[in-house]
Amino acid sequence: MVDHLMRSPDEAAGNADQYRPISDYAMIGDAHGAALISSDGSIDWCVLPHVDSPALFLRLLDARQGGCFQVRPTASRVLVERRYVDDTNVLETVFRTEHGVVRLRDAFTAGGHQEHAADQEEDRPHEILRVVEGVEGAVEVELRCWVTPDFARQVPEVEQESASVVRWRWAGGEAWLAGSWPLSCDGAAVWSRQVVRAGERLVCVCSDRELAGPSPQAVVRRMDETIAYWQTWAACCQYTGPYRNAVVRSALALKLLTYEPSGAIVAAPTTSLPEEIGGVRNWDYRYCWLRDATFTLYALGLLGYLDEAHDFMHWIERVCMACGTDLQIMYGVQEERDLPEHALDHLSGYRGSRPVRVGNAAHTQRQLDVFGEVIDSAYLYFHKLRGADRYGESLTGPMWDLLRSLVDYVADHWGEPDSGIWEVRGGPQHFLHSKVMCWVALDRGLRLAAAYDLPAPVERWQQERDRLRQAILQQGYSDPAGAFTQAFGSTTLDASALLLPLVGFIDVRDPRMAATIAAIRDRLTRNGLVYRYLGDDGLPGGEGAFSICTFWLVDCLAFAGRVDEARALFETMLGHANPLGLYSEEIDPATGEFLGNFPQGFTHIALINSAVNLKQAESRRASASRANGDTDPAAG
């Protein structure tokens, strides 16, 4: 429950420089577009029809110029309770005032799973449903909607189509708003006020397609169908261990980050939420990174979501087939290669954090680790998950030709520098994580060739894999630092070293790895949260702790059999979720404030994987205890 003073109507219309914490937001979406809703019922960010489209509402990035769509009581003091309807992506907000109680439900309409293709055309509208229901007494409710399309670079024409239907038009698009009560235009904004009594309903729909005046019954029916869709989808989750609620919530968040027409999964639905308030580390995350592929497929497969894993694997296959060995680190959701980065200088940024960026220049960086992620994804999907068997697919033919060419490329180029996992802009180095993932590429290529009797230069791959392993062990471990470090010859600690045992490069109990874990816990951890590194990276300013890195530490502790420590750290991270179970990319260890783009898919993937790894570690400990004749389940 949150007790606060609601923003005034003028503030909601974007006329005051006031921002909500990032953690105040919930996400809704339809696996095409997405929106973020604050605790006072305001949609402050919305991208339609695609997650990488220009924003329709963007008060999140400019409180004065950015539009919003707010539904809220007019009372100045309101108690707010929020939750997602059980096992859904339907947001429910209860507003309690001195005169009564109203309930607001928000959702995008959602449908069933479809087969996908790169050139699939969209033919359905994208609709945001908002349903207000009187629960007790009588509450005056206000609606305000201010559309600022194309990142507020265009001023739309506003047309009142009828008493309850309004259309905005601009070059390249349009938006419609229809309600079950009269709407009034006030310049570019639309507003309405209505008293809602117990048992009464008000509804409104915002869409990118033409709308007629909706009946409350029709909108409530679509809302009920959307709830049923999400609950059916969530019921397919095969995870039954501890922390299931957090796992299911993360799976639901991940589903919202899926771009249904192609199967791509974006890193986050936002751009330019800062890694440091007032700083310049503001990036566009509305794209699909190949780096996330292995962890994503692992999470989806473990939970039983093979349709989504299948779609994502084929997205990877298509972009790789088109590029060959000229792999980029990221692509657009429709498989675009060109993602030019530019600043929207007219926007003030979240809490003054500028520049606001669109596009991502890191797509031009050379990062050799992506070869390992792609080949490991194929190994996981075809061999470990047996996902291809369900769809009658085979690894032979063009797919193996592609994978073989990628492994050959790694065999030829692993000794070259690159920009590394963190996409630093300070120049190429021999980053440890990149070398380890090149080792993974060679190792998984050999495993696939052996498992399926596929043609490959096995002897050469083995030689290069062994040479690379020796180079990593000799140059990647620093005696002065007492740990595996960020780059060959460096003494800088980097949390990506925690991935070494997770990808099978080294046993987690190896003294060098144990020392690395201890060093990271001692020197990169603050209040239980792990920074990715500390030191110069070619950019001004600082950042928070990286949420995924803390989950990697949970995994290492679990793999090492340090189950109690792993569980305690996992529960620390659960405590840092926002009240709706969502995470941003980073967290300030001192304050718990969310930083970076939100919600971040990789963080939720890491939570799922850590929950599974922790469950498996606890099972191993219980089995060992039984084998030793222990009766205390906590023994070990």
Q: Which CATH number characterizes residue 40's domain? A: 2.70.98
In a domain, 20, yes or no: yes
Note the pLDDT of residue 636: 33
Do 69 and 198 belong to one domain?
Answer: yes
Name the β-bridge partners of 312: none
Residue 553 is part of a domain; what is its CATH number?
Answer: 1.50.10.10
Mean pLDDT, range 567-584, rounded to an integer: 98
Note the pLDDT of residue 630: 65
In a domain, 635, yes or no: no
Do 485 and 427 belong to one domain?
Answer: no
Q: Looking at the predicted structure, is the pLDDT value of residue 5 above 80?
A: no
In a domain, 18, yes or no: yes
Question: pLDDT per residue over 315-363, tens digit each?
Answer: 999 999 999 899 999 999 999 999 999 999 999 999 999 999 999 999 9
Q: Looking at the predicted structure, is the pLDDT value of residue 308 above 70?
A: yes
Note the pLDDT of residue 635: 37
Do 585 and 553 belong to one domain?
Answer: yes
The parent domain of residue 590 ranges over 478-629
Question: pLDDT per residue over 513-562, tens digit each?
Answer: 999 999 999 999 999 999 999 977 777 888 999 999 999 999 999 999 99
Do 493 and 595 belong to one domain?
Answer: yes
Mean pLDDT, range 292-303, rounded to an integer: 88
Question: What six digits make up the tokens of 523?
Answer: 């020197």
**Position 112 confidence tier, pLDDT thresholds 50, 70, 90:** low
Note the pLDDT of residue 281: 93
Tell me how many domains the chain contains. 3
Point out the domain boundary residue: 415, 440, 475: 475
Average pLDDT, the chain: 92
Residue type, 290: L
Question: pLDDT per residue over 369-391, tens digit each?
Answer: 999 999 999 999 999 888 788 88
Question: pLDDT per residue over 119-168, tens digit each?
Answer: 454 567 899 999 999 999 999 999 999 999 999 999 999 999 999 999 99
In a domain, 354, yes or no: no
Do 53 and 73 belong to one domain?
Answer: yes
Do 470 and 487 belong to one domain?
Answer: no
Point out the domain boundary residue: 154, 182, 216: 216
Q: What is the DSSP letter of 31?
A: S
Non-local CB neighbours of 156 within 8 Å, separated by 6+ positions? 147, 149, 168, 169, 170, 175, 188
- 104, 73 in Cβ contact below 8 A? no
Do 620 and 512 belong to one domain?
Answer: yes
Q: Looking at the predicted structure, is the pLDDT value of residue 410 above 70?
A: yes
Q: Looking at the predicted structure, is the pLDDT value of residue 245 above 90?
A: yes
| Element of type H or E holding 399 | helix 398-413
What pTM, to 2 d.p., does this model score? 0.94
Point out the domain boundary residue: 423, 458, 475: 475
Question: What six digits make up the tokens of 52?
Answer: 């990488």
Mean pLDDT, range 179-199, rounded to an integer: 94
**Position 625 confidence tier, pLDDT thresholds 50, 70, 90:** confident
Which of 23-32, 295-304, 510-519 is least confident?
295-304
Helix 398-413 / helix 306-323 crossing angle, nearest 10 deg: 60
Do 448 and 493 belong to one domain?
Answer: no
Note the pLDDT of residue 511: 98
Rounded distance, CA 459 to CA 37, Å? Answer: 56
- 488, 432 in Cβ contact below 8 A? yes
Do 402 and 508 belong to one domain?
Answer: no
Mean pLDDT, range 391-408, rounded to an integer: 93
Name the β-bridge partners of 343: 357
In a domain, 165, yes or no: yes
Non-local CB neighbours of 330 within 8 Å, separated by 6+ positions? 287, 288, 289, 290, 339, 360, 362, 363
Tell me the H-state helices in 334-397.
Answer: 369-378, 387-390
Do 506 and 556 belong to one domain?
Answer: yes
In a domain, 163, yes or no: yes
**Position 213 confidence tier, pLDDT thresholds 50, 70, 90:** confident
Do 589 and 485 belong to one domain?
Answer: yes
Cis peptide before 49 (omega within 30 of 0): yes
In a domain, 336, yes or no: no
In a domain, 416, yes or no: yes
Mean pLDDT, range 473-489, rounded to an integer: 97
- 127, 107 in Cβ contact below 8 A? no
Note the pLDDT of residue 536: 76
pLDDT > 90: percent of the chain: 83
Q: Looking at the predicted structure, is the pLDDT value of residue 117 above 90?
A: no
Do 179 and 315 belong to one domain?
Answer: no
- 27, 256 in Cβ contact below 8 A? yes
Question: What six digits make up the tokens of 170?
Answer: 């601009």
